[in-house]
Structure 1
Amino acid sequence: MNKFINKLQIDLLKRHLSPFLFCFFTLMFLLLMQFLILHIDKLIGKDIPVLIIIELIVTNLAYMVVLAAPMAVLVATLMAFGKFSELNELTALRASGINPLKIIRPVLIASIVLFVGLAWFSNNILPEANQKARSLFIDIRLKKPGFDLKPNTFYDGIEGYTFLVERIDSETDSLYEITLFQKPENNRDRAYIVADKGLLVSKGEQALTLHLINGTSLKFLAGDRRNKTMIERNNFKKHIMTLDLSDMSFMRSDPENRNRSDRTMGSRAMIAVVDSLFAEIQDQRDFMSKNTMIYPADEYNGGESFFNPRKVLPDTLENISWIESPYLVTNTFEKAEIQRSFVWESIRQMKEYRTKLESVQANIEWRQKRIARYLVEIHKKLSIPFACVVFILFGAPIGIMTKRGNFGFAALISTAVLTFYWVSLIQGEKLADRLFITPLIGMWTFNVLLSLAGIYLIIHLTTDIRITKLFKNRD
């Protein structure tokens, strides 16, 4: 009997492997296509080396792995257990007196192993990949487009020059009817150059030589007198110019020299940042506790109307001769002018204190939101990989109950479940970032609910326990 169970368990694990790999690589392909569609405009037209583009794609594959693996687990589970039930193998097990839970157990253990591996990957590999991808994106964004002249179109891609060419022969790199404006930069005089023909000769990736033939140049030279320029006219048969293209070459920076965000840090680093933020919040609160001012009470115990500096208008203070207020020091002076000076000083100090209080509150709230973002990311590194276990608990009984092991039916159910899962996860992250809920609730609520639903369905399938029976027994 044990050998029979072991064979079934191994067979069921093998049935998971093919749909898991198929779904995993299909999802990776779809996510990759989505990435390329979103960012293709940033890569085209900048003469970026192919190896850099490949590295950018590879580094972005890391987050796709974390997303695709749990989704592939759900599809594979629905297909494997659906086929298992469709072939009436579950009925044969029950007839033999074998608990179906023994069939689910090895698959559940495999999902826990996958969860551990994916959590390690998410905490150690993913942050470094995100940091490198982010650094490459910044380098690509800072790179200028390549040298790209077009007929009858002004081109100012090279710093200090503006080109206008009537016709271009792409086969020979020849230019015709050239007009060139040279700006007064880098010890160059302002110039206006016209030539009948030109020839572009490349000098590596850093420079480009332009040979101008049969033309005229006008140089605007600064004269000795103030605000007076001299114009120098030259006719030439051949004039050679060297254009600096170093600004257009791709310059790669060191990712370690860039600041890290919550997406590019491991859990330990984020916990250290969270601890420092908590310490800063406590420092802010200690500072305010040592500089607390006492506001007047809303009701004066003496029975007479009291003075509230937040409600008194300036005109009111000017038109009265004597003021009675809860400040005993003020009442000791008989002249209204002296009393007014005390009142205005009180108002000034209260406004100053209110400004400090609002500033401290804003600083504390800003730090609380940063803490929430880091804690959300820490929980996310575990909650998303843990979905592998959740989808086994939920997908196994659903697959058994549907009794269909085809890909179409499994994909349909998976689409509905995953849509609800990701929407809940995204909304939970947003609510936690805005301090409406805790990061723990935001990242784990759906996992807990889906796990409870799956455990209930497994109990329903493997035992005679029913919730309806429990309520009937109470009645």
Structure 2
Amino acid sequence: MKKIHLLVIKAFIRPFVVTFFIVMFVLLMLFLFKYIDDLIGKGFEWHVIVRLLWYASATNVAMALPLAMLLSSIMTFGSLGENYELVAIKSAGISLQRAMMPLLVLISLLSISAFFFSDYMLPKANLKMGSLLYDVRNQKAAFLIQEGVFNNSFAGYSIRVKKKDPAKQMLYDILIYDHNSTNGNISTLMAKKGKMYTTEDNQYLVLKLMDGVRYEEKSGEVNYNPRQRFIREKFKETEQKFDLSVFTMQHTDEGAFKTNYMMLNQKELRHFRDSAQKNLDSSYRTVYQLLRPGYVLFNSQQDRLKKVMQKQIRPYKQSVAELVPADLRSAAIQNASGEAASVAGTLAQKKVETEDFRTQIRRYIIEYQRKFTLAMSCLILFSIGAPLGAIIRKGGLGLPVVMSIIFFLIYHIISTIAEKSAKEGSIQPVLGMWLAIIILAPLGVFLTYKATVDSALFNVEVYKQFFQGLFKNKKAKV
């Protein structure tokens, strides 16, 4: 028995590790393709990109782990079935459920680890990645001088070079316009060649220009002055400094992202959910306080309205305005319209406020339940993949990959649609997060039963013989 359990575990671990890292690699490539425009051409150091990918890989575990669990379980039991090892196990009097038991224990341990990972590690990874990605996306493009193109990276300057030598950091035919003056472009610098380098503290970019001339207009007046001075200054060598502080990546305080739903653990989610619920209850209680002035005004007129109604010889026929004396009717209608508009505006404002609180509560509940659904999804997809592999009896990366993708897409589509509906308030948040698991759990039980009784559920020949026999019966009746 122990040798069989060890055989099944060894057959599962290798494909699980391989498929997990393959899926993680694919998801990281998708992450790079998504944010490629924010990463290219900004002069980031290599460790910034590595940190971002490391945090992104942690956030991708929620999708990579269930998919790897499904694919590896199909591959494991498909390979055992293809090599007739499952037949040997069953012939020894060991049922499929007993053969799956060591893997079920292992998957349960992995699911528990996934729960603690999603509760402790994932919020921190989301916080680190969110703050770093914010800094990356708000980082200005690195200074890059292109040939024949005016570069406006530095505020107040336009730089153009005709030719450059990146290896020697040499520039040729340089033209610099200085726009820092309030009187327009009154300073122009031209040089035949120059060399660029940065200072030791990387705070300034220095252009060492050679064999050039500077043109500058001198005038103390804003308007055109025909007697203004024009200065032409030739030089053999000069230096122009540009501040590089605008290109240094600024690190945002992580505390600014701390209250985001995805960056909270269970304890924090419960705290913020309770706070939002208290705010919602307080908002409900203040509705009457805001509407009370108009209600009191209406009550103050009750005695007068009763006296008017008692003096009426006949009931009013057209509108309630007939109860008000004619000389006061216009003012009463204006007051009523104003009160109605005030009440409508107050209710509309409170509706928006309460809906914001409801949305916050739903998001906190969704993120709270997500920590449990990650662990349960591993168990459910394993309960689908293991009997499915025993039924199809195919190992490798062919049919198992196709079947795993199909079932994972079913799970992912259901969970995505249900989660979106829960966020919008169409269904309860708890139901939305557990709907995919509730739907797929009976499928796992059904496939386990079919695998236990050696059902040919995916055998094409069985269906072919069935339809051939059906058509033969119909022809015999005719």
Q: Which one of 200, 214, 219 corresponds to residue 217 of structure 1?
A: 214
Change (3 A) 1:307 1:285: farther
Q: Which one of 160, 166, 186 corresponds to residue 164 of structure 1?
A: 160
Residue 390 of structure 1 deviates from its aligned partner by 0.4
Residue 384 of structure 1 deviates from its aligned partner by 2.4
| Counterpart Cα distance in 2 of 1:228 and 1:145 | 38
Tell me the equivalent position of 2:142.
Answer: 146
Tell me the equivalent position of 2:306.
Answer: none
Residue 23 of structure 1 deviates from its aligned partner by 0.7
Say whether residues 1:75 and 2:86 are aligned partners. no
Residue 198 of structure 1 deviates from its aligned partner by 2.6
Secondary structure of the 2:212 match is strand
Q: Which one of 427, 430, 454 corresponds to residue 440 of structure 1?
A: 430
Which letter maps to 2:234? F
Residue 124 of structure 1 deviates from its aligned partner by 1.2
| Counterpart Cα distance in 2 of 1:406 and 1:199 | 59
CA RMSD of aligned residues (A): 2.8
Which letter maps to 1:194? M
Report if the CA contact (8 A) 1:131-1:260 is conserved.
Answer: no
| Counterpart Cα distance in 2 of 1:391 and 1:268 | 28
C-alpha deviations, 1:37-88, integer Å up to 9, x for none?
2222221211111111111111111022221111111112112222333344
Say whether residues 1:399 and 2:389 are aligned partners. yes
Secondary structure of the 1:407 match is coil
Residue 15 of structure 1 deviates from its aligned partner by 0.9
| Counterpart Cα distance in 1 of 2:435 and 2:78 | 27
Say whether residues 1:383 and 2:373 are aligned partners. yes
Change (3 A) 1:49 1:64: same
Secondary structure of the 1:324 match is helix
Tell me the equivalent position of 2:465.
Answer: none
Say whether residues 1:287 and 2:286 are aligned partners. yes
Question: TM-score, with normalisation over the residues of structure 1?
Answer: 0.83
| Deviates most, 165-174 or 150-159 | 165-174
Q: Which one of 441, 458, 464 corresponds to residue 451 of structure 1?
A: 441
Residue 365 of structure 1 deviates from its aligned partner by 1.2
Question: TM-score, with normalisation over the residues of structure 2?
Answer: 0.83
Change (3 A) 1:370 1:399: same
Q: Which one of 335, 340, 363 corresponds to residue 345 of structure 1?
A: 335
C-alpha deviations, 1:242-288, integer Å up to 9, x for none?
22122122333342344541122222212211111111111111111
Q: Which one of 232, 235, 240 corresponds to residue 233 of structure 2?
A: 235
Report if the CA contact (8 A) 1:83-1:405 is conserved.
Answer: yes
Tell me the equivalent position of 2:205.
Answer: 208
Q: How many residues align?
A: 433
| Counterpart Cα distance in 2 of 1:393 and 1:171 | 60
Say whether residues 1:107 and 2:103 are aligned partners. yes
C-alpha deviations, 1:342-379, integer Å up to 9, x for none?
22101110110011011101111122122212222222
| Counterpart Cα distance in 2 of 1:232 and 1:71 | 73
Gaps of 5+ in 1: 309-322, 465-475
| Counterpart Cα distance in 2 of 1:307 and 1:344 | 15
Tell me the equivalent position of 1:315.
Answer: none
Report if the CA contact (8 A) 1:202-1:209 is conserved.
Answer: yes
Change (3 A) 1:239 1:289: same
Tell me the equivalent position of 1:36.
Answer: 32
Secondary structure of the 1:412 match is helix
| Counterpart Cα distance in 2 of 1:142 and 1:380 | 30
Say whether residues 1:179 and 2:184 are aligned partners. no
Say whether residues 1:49 and 2:45 are aligned partners. yes
Change (3 A) 1:174 1:87: closer
Say whether residues 1:123 and 2:122 are aligned partners. no
Tell me the equivalent position of 1:272.
Answer: 271
| Deviates most, 11-20 or 139-148 | 139-148
Report if the CA contact (8 A) 2:130-2:257 is conserved.
Answer: no
Q: Which one of 187, 198, 212 corresponds to residue 194 of structure 2?
A: 198
Change (3 A) 1:197 1:403: closer
Report if the CA contact (8 A) 1:24-1:68 is conserved.
Answer: yes
Change (3 A) 1:226 1:14: closer
Which letter maps to 1:307? S
**Percent identity at matched positions?**
25
| Counterpart Cα distance in 2 of 1:406 and 1:213 | 67
